[in-house]
Amino acid sequence: MKEINKYIDHTLLKPFSTTSDIKKLCEEAKEYHFKSVCVNPTHVAFAKKELKDTDVLVCTVVGFPLGANTVQTKVFEAKDAIFNGADEIDMVINIGKAKDHDYDYITNEISSVVHAAEGKTVKVIIETCYLTDEEKVALCQCAALAKANFVKTSTGFGTAGATKEDVTLLTEHIPSMMEVKASGGIRTLDDFKWAVKAGAGRIGTSNGVQIMKEAKGTK
């Protein structure tokens, strides 16, 4: 199993985050060697500069947090993020189209962003709190067809975050080359443990430092 820190996307997506907040996030990520920092697009270039010559990746979000942008807008966002130095893209699907069961639209949308990302890791946020189990499974199939790298549970801005049941369900319905990112409500070491046990290959959390301190205290 990977070390705990390499599961964690150290996340700060609050709309009022300042440059000093992002600097602190990056300093923490460097200290703990997290897999990435996940920041809003406006902070990508700054985070990339702060993390130069480190092993920490820069992740950003597209179509965030509602997913209701047009495909063309999401494509532009992805290209702009890559230009500014993003290593990974977490995109929100069009949730209304998912509820319409317009899975051709969703597959095309994801595929368009994957293409725009030029080989960078793409994680597909499906916002599980609004979906039936059947819709979640169908969206896993869409993400697989579109050649995304991850299916991600939540934005953290919905009515609920990751659950053990959802992480298990998504893990069971993606191909072996894909992974699940659990996000939303992962705040403690116990939360981290159940998410990884359920199959998550990545954890999105704003509580990475606290999780690492808990882990150190239990060794």
The 10s digit of each residue's pLDDT in 43-68 is: 999 999 999 999 999 999 999 999 99
Note the pLDDT of residue 111: 98
Residues in the chain with pLDDT < 50? none
Note the pLDDT of residue 2: 86
The dihedral of CA 106, 76, 122, 192: what is its sign?
Answer: negative
Q: What is the H or E stretch that residue 32 is in?
A: helix 19-32
Q: What is d(CA 86, CA 68) in angstroms, rounded to the nearest whole number?
A: 22
Q: For residue 87, indicate whether it is catalytic.
A: no
The one catalytic residue in 35, 152, 166, 191 is: 152
Rg (CA), the chain: 16
* Phi (first) and psi of residue 33, to 5 degrees: 55, 50
Looking up residue 129, the CATH number of its domain turns out to be 3.20.20.70
Q: For residue 213, indicate whether it is catalytic.
A: no
Could you tell me which residues are beta bridge partners of residue 89? 60, 122
* Residue-by-residue DSSP string for 122-166: EEEE--GGG--HHHHHHHHHHHHHTT-SEEE---SSSS----HHH
Note the pLDDT of residue 124: 99
The one catalytic residue in 87, 90, 166, 191 is: 90
Domain of 209, in residue numbers: 4-218
Q: For residue 90, indicate whether it is catalytic.
A: yes
Note the pLDDT of residue 1: 62
Number of domain units in the chain: 1
Bond before 41 cis per omega within 30 degrees: no
Q: What is d(CA 107, CA 24) in angstroms, rounded to the nearest whole number?
A: 37
